[in-house]
């Protein structure tokens, strides 16, 4: 892979979604890239806007996933968060870790 000063507008990363009785299961999400200033502004605005739902918040950073039986859309993202309550935190943690260049260990 060649390095460039112009990152791709999206990137993929596995997110470990905790599944009761099974432990974490990796789901690959496609994320919108943000530079350092955009990421700081996004995080700042997210912490101020207490009325915004997790779904609305995540729709601003996620553009897709590899869940075979569910198209990526707002309704299915809400269903994911309803059935797996810690998924939103896991997604956000991976997103900001990836932007910061932190890699998970396999």
> What's the rounded Cα separation, in Å, for the pair 28 and 15?
6
Residue pointed to by tokens 């553009």: 63
Each residue's pLDDT, cut to its tens digit, for the chain (106 residues) gives 788 899 999 999 999 999 999 999 999 999 999 998 998 888 887 767 667 788 999 999 999 999 999 999 999 999 999 999 999 999 999 999 999 886 555 4
E strand spans, the chain: 10-19, 23-32, 62-65
């Amino acid at each position: 892979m060649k390095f460039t000063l112009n990152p791709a507008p999206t990137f993929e990363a596995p997110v470990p979604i905790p599944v009761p009785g099974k432990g974490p299961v990796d789901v690959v999400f496609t994320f919108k890239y943000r530079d350092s200033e955009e990421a700081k502004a996004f995080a700042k605005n997210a912490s101020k806007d207490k009325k915004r739902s997790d779904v609305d918040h995540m729709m601003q950073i996620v553009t897709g996933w590899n869940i075979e039986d569910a198209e990526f859309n707002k309704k299915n993202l809400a269903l994911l968060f309803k059935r797996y309550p810690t998924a939103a935190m896991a997604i956000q943690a991976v997103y900001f870790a990836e932007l910061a260049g932190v890699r998970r260990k396999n």
